[in-house]
Structure 1
Amino acid sequence: MSGSLLKVENLTKHYPLGAGFLKKTIPVVQAVTDVSFSVEAGETLCIVGESGCGKSTLARLLMRLVEPTAGRVLIEGFDIAGLKKNLLRDWRRRMQMVFQDPYSSLNPRLTAGQIITEPAENFGRLSRRQRQALAVELLRKVGMSPELMHRLPSELSGGQRQRLGIARALALRPSLIIADEAVSALDVSVQAQILNLLMDLQQETGIALIFISHDLRVVEHIGQRVAVMYLGRIVELAPCEALFARPVHPYTEALIAAAPVPDPTRIRLEVPLQGEVPSPIQPPKGCAFHPRCPLAVERCRIEVPPLVPMADGRVVACHVRAPTMGIPAEPITANSSLSPMAQQ
C-alpha cells in the first residue's frame, strides 16, 4: 500500500433525480466519476476546470460532507469512505477545509477568538487561558492582530475573514487542508497575501494542500501538481511547470488558451473551444469531451479513455494524444499511485 498522506481510488458520486416504482431507470447526476489520485505530505495539488465539472463535490467527498456512491478515500492508508459518523470524528482532525465564501462559513454570532478555538474545544475542554493563548497564536500566525479576537465576522474585511477561516482550519493541526476557491472572491492584492500566507504556512508546518480554483494564474503560482477535471473526471494530471509549458489534453490546451495573458509579447495558444459543457445527467458516450474536441475520432465517441502515464511523469486520458507522446503500455488502475513523488 502506498505511503501517501491521502490516496483516492475510483471515487464516484451520483445523485439520483426523483424516484418511483413506475420508472424502470432513475436518471442520475454524474457529479464525480472514477476519480483517482494521491497527495504526499507537504505537497500542493491544484484541481482546475470549468464551473460544474465536479471540483467542489470532490472536495466535499474528501471531507465526507457528502457520502460517496463508490470508491475509497485513504488517509495515511486507512479508508474513511465507509466509516460511520462516530468513527469518522477522530479522522476529521487530520483534514480541514477553507471554504469559498469566508462570511457564510463563519458563525456570525461568535467572535474571531471563539471561531478559532471552537474546533479544538470539540475534541477537549480548554481553560480560558488556553483558549486565549491558542487564539493569539493562530491570529499571529495568519498575520492578524490579537486585538481582533473580540470582533465579530461582520466587523472584519473580506481578507481578514479568509485569514480567520485559515486560522480556524489550523486549530487542530491537520495534515491536509482543502481550500475550495479560497481566494476567488478577494481583490487581487488580497489574493496575493492569502496565497503567500498558505505557502508560508505550508513550509512552516509541512501540511499538504489541495487547492481548488478556476483561476489558472493562481494555480501556476501556488501549485506543484495540477489535476484538470472535465464533467466529473480527471483528464490530465501533471507537474505544474510541465502542464503550463506543454499541455497535452485538448481540454487543458483550451483552458490555458482562454486564460488572460498580461504579457503582450507572450505567444498564446489558439485553441477554439466550440459548444457548451454537456449535461452531467446525460453525459456523452465515450470521451465526455469529444463533442467539443477538434481532434475527436470515432474511438472517442465509443470508448472512455483511461488515464495513461506518460514519459514526463504526467497522466492523460486521451485516445488521440496519448499514443503519440511516448507512453508506457499500462493504463492507470485503482491500485496505482498518480503521484510522481510516490513513484520515486
Structure 2
Amino acid sequence: MSDPLLKVENLVKHYPLGAAGIFRKDVPVVRAVQDVSFSVEAGETLCIVGESGCGKSTVARLLMRLTEPTDGRVLLEGTDIAGLNKHALRDSRRRMQMVFQDPYSSLNPRLTAGQIITEPVGNFERLSRRKRDALAAELLQKVGMAPEMMHRLPSELSGGQRQRLGIARALSLNPSIIIADEAVSALDVSVQAQILNLLMDLQEQMGIAFVFISHDLSVVEHIGHRVAVMYLGRIVELAPCEALFANPVHPYTEALIAAAPVPNPTQVRLEVPVEGEVPSPVKPPSGCAFHPRCPLAIERCRIDVPALTRTRDGRVVACHVRAPARCSPGQSDVGSFSLTPVA
C-alpha cells in the first residue's frame, strides 16, 4: 500500500497557564491534545467528533500549523510540516486548505467575493485581471453560485452563500486535502444539507480528501468514511462510519450516540448512563480520562492509560474493558487500516 495522504503521529499540544520563573518551575498546562494519531487516504473523509472542549478544533489548527505543536509529527504526502521553515511551509499551503467554522469572520469584509477567492492564488503566481475574474467565476459556479456574485461583499451574502464562498476560496489552490472545522454548524438545516452534498460532489469530481470536524452525529453519519471519537484530548475510538454507528465499542462512543436526538418520537433509544461533568484538561484524571463517568470502569481504568488497541472487526479502541487484546507486535494501531479511497 502507498503512504497515506496525511499521517498524524503522536500529536501533542499543551498551553501553559502563565510563565515559569525562579520560584515557579512547575507551570500548570492545559492538555488540549494528547498523543493523537491517525491517517487520511486520498479521496477519503475522516470525521472527528466529540463534546465541546475535547480538542477537535485544536487538532485542526495543528494540522494547518496555525498553532505550533508541543510534540508529534504531521506528515503531508510524507513531509513533516511541523518541521518546515517559513518558506517551505508557505508552499505546503497549496496542498492543504481550511474551511473555518464562522463563514463571516473568516472572510475579509472589505474584499469582494471575487477578490477573496483569488487572493490565495496571488500569493503564489501573478494573474491578469481577466484570468482572476475567470477563475472566480469558475469556482463560484462550482460551488453553486452565480458568477455575478463575485462583485458582492460578504455582508451582501447569506450565511450559506458565505460558506460556499469559503469553500471556493479553499478550492482556488486545487488542494489535495481540506480541513473543515464545524463547516455547517452555523447554518440552517436545509442549507447544511446543500453544503454537505456540495462537499461530497466536489470529492467525487476532484478526489479531495476531507478532515471534517463536527459535533453533529447526523452530519458525520451522512458524510464520513471513518470516524475518530475524541474525549479530553485523546482519540478513544476510530472506526469505519457504518460500523461505528451500528455497533459502538467504547462506552463514551456508546453514550455519545445514545444522546443524539432521534427524529422519530416513537423510536425507543438505548439509554446509557453517563454521570458527572467532563474533567478539567489542566488536571485530568489518572488512568483512563473517562473512568470517573464510565459505568464499566474497573480498577485498572483508574491506574493505566489505555492504548489504542485493534479489535477483531478492524477498528481501534482505547478501553481496558471492551478491547483487552493487543494487536501483534510491530503492527500499527491506527494507520494500517482505512476504507478504499474514493475515486
Aligned AA (1:159):
G
Report what 1:339 is aligned to: 337
**Aligned-pair CA distance for 1:311:** 1.6
Could you tell me how far apart the structure 1 residues matched to 2:247 and 2:266 are? 18
- 114 and 175 in structure 1: CA distance in 2 versus 1, 3 angstrom threshold: same
Contact preservation (8 Å) 2:111, 2:153: yes
- Structure 1: runs of 5+ lacking an equivalent: none
Could you tell me how far apart the structure 1 residues matched to 2:11 and 2:175 are? 22
CA RMSD of aligned residues (A): 1.7
Map 1:224-303 → 2, pairs under 5 A: 224-303=225-304
Per-residue CA shift, 1:148-181, capped at 9, x if unaligned?
Answer: 1000000000000000000000000000001000
Report what 2:188 is aligned to: 187
Report what 2:8 is aligned to: 8
Could you tell me how far apart the structure 1 residues matched to 2:177 and 2:214 are? 17
**Aligned-pair CA distance for 1:98:** 0.3
Query: TM-score w.r.t. structure 1 length?
Result: 0.96
Contact preservation (8 Å) 2:217, 2:257: yes
Report what 1:50 is aligned to: 51
Could you tell me how far apart the structure 1 residues matched to 2:141 and 2:191 are? 17
Aligned AA (2:229):
V
Could you tell me how far apart the structure 2 residues matched to 1:322 and 1:18 are? 39
Contact preservation (8 Å) 1:100, 1:180: yes
Map 1:62-211 → 2, pairs under 5 A: 62-211=63-212
SS at match of 1:15: strand
Could you tell me how far apart the structure 1 residues matched to 2:152 and 2:337 are? 42
SS at match of 2:132: helix
Aligned AA (1:110):
L
Could you tell me how far apart the structure 1 residues matched to 2:331 and 2:296 are? 23
Could you tell me how far apart the structure 1 residues matched to 2:312 and 2:119 are? 47
Per-residue CA shift, 1:276-323, capped at 9, x if unaligned?
Answer: 000000000100000100111110000000000112121000001112
Could you tell me how far apart the structure 1 residues matched to 2:338 and 2:48 are? 16
SS at match of 1:21: coil
Could you tell me how far apart the structure 2 residues matched to 1:29 and 1:301 are? 21
Say which is worse superposed, 78-87 or 54-63, in terms of deviation. 78-87
Aligned AA (1:339):
F
Aligned AA (1:340):
S
SS at match of 2:39: strand
**Aligned-pair CA distance for 1:330:** 4.9
SS at match of 2:256: helix
Could you tell me how far apart the structure 1 residues matched to 2:340 and 2:172 are? 28
Contact preservation (8 Å) 2:226, 2:339: no
Could you tell me how far apart the structure 1 residues matched to 2:336 and 2:34 are? 16
**Aligned-pair CA distance for 1:265:** 4.3
Aligned AA (1:211):
F
**Aligned-pair CA distance for 1:337:** 1.3
Aligned AA (2:314):
G
Say which is worse superposed, 190-199 or 263-272, in terms of deviation. 263-272
Contact preservation (8 Å) 1:253, 1:269: no
Q: Where do 4+ consecutive residues of structure 1 move more than 4 Å?
A: 329-334
**Aligned-pair CA distance for 1:339:** 3.3
Query: TM-score w.r.t. structure 2 length?
Result: 0.96
Report what 1:316 is aligned to: 317
Could you tell me how far apart the structure 2 residues matched to 1:177 and 1:332 are? 28
Aligned AA (1:337):
G
Contact preservation (8 Å) 1:315, 1:338: no
Per-residue CA shift, 1:109-162, capped at 9, x if unaligned?
Answer: 000000000001111110011101100000000000011100000000000000
Contact preservation (8 Å) 2:41, 2:338: no
